[in-house]
Amino acid sequence: MIINIPENSDFSIHNIPFGIFSTEDRSPRAGVAIGEHILDLAALSELDVFDFNTAVFEKEVLNDFISLGKEITKKVRRDIQLWLQDDNSILAGKTELFVKQTDAQMHMPVYVNDYTDFYSSIEHATNVGKMFRDPENALLPNWKHIPVGYHGRASSIVVSGEPVHRPKGQTIPVGSEQPVFGPSQRVDFELEMGFITGKSTNLGESISTTEANDYIFGLVLFNDWSARDIQKWEYVPLGPFLAKNFASHISPWIVTLEALAPFKVEGPNQEPKVLPYLEFEGARNYDINLEVGIAPEGSEEQTVCQSNFKYMYWNMAQQLAHHTVNGCNINVGDLYGSGTISGKDENSYGSMLELAWMGTKPLKMKDGTERKFILDGDTVTMRGHAEKDGKRVGFGEVSAKILPAK
């Protein structure tokens, strides 16, 4: 092996995720994560090993590289895997091509032109329905017929590490019928995965569930922050607005669909039967272990959630097919959130809203404090990895600190 990869590294030889990094002496550019290092693709391209215009590796986002198509992006990944495992390859002795991750700053991996958030975990939707609507009829009538989603705000999607200020807005105090203005008292995380599209379509075109994988470049961890008290007041009749658009965080490394192929699993049984355009063949869910930790300022992190992407009722192929069935066009770099990922057990719930059950069951932190929702100074960190038959493919983490309202 050209470079040492620690045991249980998220960035094994089976992964090779793509991202954008910079250092003190290297401008933002494309790289791949391998173990504790980054392989500088812009520097590698100077060895004349690629047969396409490698100027795409010097861009500040991956959109142009991704738009070259999977025939090229898959070959780049495969070639790097082979070179890393061959002690006589072009990478041999080329230490200048590698940068320690600790010496690099990560950036947004893609320019996100459009963003859609889905609501595809039946456990999460059921929990929310029980809390806010009817414990006996928690799901709305349409939920098992369509992958429910809404269009979000792309401009406030930021990369892991950027802090975010507590949002302000209108809320309804308990026992009052009149709104007040001020900082949200119920800031919450939402544990999600996001997929990024690698091909564009024209207005009027649709993508079938069979074609969907050709359009999905890869996945990231996604923390879709929410302000539950603002959301409760504003979401009727048109849905989330200020409660959701103040910030969402993504992990910096995009794990390709090819790297995740060994971890495909069957999803939940869908009853009633879906309409023909949502039917699909084969395993379309992914067994990805997920966890969330909260670290109060100056204190040790407490794991509060352990979930899995395999729980999703609606899969990515169905989400993309539904999104485009009306002719909605998509672009390279568009981001699609899975919706909060919750499992059946209480410790697998993917939001504080569920974990603390609307504040009625506070979580105890290691420093002795309690959490109903996220407090100023708290750092929320999400991690994810898939593991099977000695292969581990991970996402690293998406982490962010909540600062006081401005």
In tens, the pLDDT along 129-179 reads 999 888 999 999 999 999 999 999 999 999 999 999 999 999 999 899 999
Q: Range of 62's domain?
A: 18-107
The 10s digit of each residue's pLDDT in 79-98 is 999 999 999 999 999 999 99
Please report the pLDDT score of residue 59 as a whole number: 98
- Asked if residue 12 belongs to a domain, the reply is no
- Asked if residue 13 belongs to a domain, the reply is no
Shared-domain flag, residues 391 and 364 = yes
Shared-domain flag, residues 253 and 375 = yes
Shared-domain flag, residues 54 and 193 = no
Domain harbouring 261, CATH code = 3.90.850.10
- Asked if residue 123 belongs to a domain, the reply is yes
- Asked if residue 7 belongs to a domain, the reply is no
Shared-domain flag, residues 220 and 364 = yes
Predicted confidence band of residue 1 (pLDDT cuts 50, 70, 90): confident
CA neighbours closer than 13 Å in the CB half-sphere of residue 393:
29
The reply to whether the predicted model has a pTM over 0.85 is yes
- How far apart (Å, rounded) are the C-alpha atoms in residues 357 and 233? 18
The 10s digit of each residue's pLDDT in 106-135 is 999 999 999 999 999 999 999 999 998 889
Shared-domain flag, residues 89 and 136 = no
H-only helix segments in 325-367? 352-355
Shared-domain flag, residues 299 and 171 = yes
Please report the pLDDT score of residue 191 as a whole number: 98
The first and second tokens of residue 146, run together, are: 């369509």
The per-residue pLDDT of the chain, averaged, comes to 97
Shared-domain flag, residues 78 and 128 = no
Shared-domain flag, residues 181 and 302 = yes
- Asked if residue 36 belongs to a domain, the reply is yes
Please report the pLDDT score of residue 305 as a whole number: 98
The 10s digit of each residue's pLDDT in 280-298 is 999 999 999 999 999 999 9
Domain harbouring 71, CATH code = 2.30.30.230
- Asked if residue 5 belongs to a domain, the reply is no
Out of 107, 124, 158, pick the residue that ends a domain.
Answer: 107
Predicted confidence band of residue 269 (pLDDT cuts 50, 70, 90): very high
Shared-domain flag, residues 229 and 189 = yes
Please report the pLDDT score of residue 385 as a whole number: 98
- How far apart (Å, rounded) are the C-alpha atoms in residues 279 and 262? 22
Shared-domain flag, residues 132 and 99 = no
What is the number of domains present in the chain?
Answer: 2
- How far apart (Å, rounded) are the C-alpha atoms in residues 148 and 318? 11
- Asked if residue 230 belongs to a domain, the reply is yes
Bond prior to 272 in cis (omega within 30° of 0): yes
Please compute Rg for the chain using Cα positions: 21
3-state secondary structure of 260: helix
The 10s digit of each residue's pLDDT in 133-142 is 889 999 999 9
- Asked if residue 10 belongs to a domain, the reply is no
Q: Per-residue pLDDT averaged across 61-66, rounded?
A: 98
Predicted confidence band of residue 338 (pLDDT cuts 50, 70, 90): very high
Catalytic residues: 124
